[in-house]
A = this chain, B = another copy of it.
């Protein structure tokens, strides 16, 4: 048992080395050797955990998603006892934006993964599975909001959920390019949510 824990800890250490590279000079040009050097271990030892850069990227991405989920859950649990669908959605969406160092690095690891996935169909599986799950969760929130009269029932919940995911993607890109500030991005998100949650029955 302790051995397994060590392995997980070592994988996380390697992931952290990967993130440090992602947040400073970027992962595109980084080799397994560079990551081993940053983690302070030999290339052989690194390859004991990750045979390829893609394996490492997928692990780092999953770990970052876990961190983001924890962050979002903590935020929701800190709220009033019964958060509305709008509050849940907003917590998730702002949790996906690169508003601090952790989420910024997470987004950059995601972009590095995206870059490779575009040229490698097998890597696209992650996105093809993960995004529809996220969309389904958001759509559920929107349907609950429709039942509560907060979102007009004629809206297409699945489609609106996907528009939200796309919007977050673009808002994030333009934060990282200094086109707008994180605060401005949140403002644009809130404007979009306000238009979506304009149900005639909103109380």
Contact = CB atoms under 8 A, between A and B. Distances in A.
A174 B131 CA distance: 9
A6 B128 CA distance: 45
A166 B156 contact: no
A24 B119 contact: yes
Interface residues of A, number: 44
A131 B179 contact: yes
A66 to B, nearest CB: 21
B116 A26 contact: yes
A194 B188 CA distance: 19
A176 interface: yes
B163 A188 contact: yes
9 contacts: A26-B118, A117-B177, A127-B179, A128-B179, A163-B188, A166-B167, A166-B169, A169-B173, A169-B174
A79 to B, nearest CB: 26
A165 B159 contact: no
A195 interface: yes
A132 B184 CA distance: 14
Interface in A100-148: 108, 111-112, 114-119, 121, 124, 127-128, 131-132
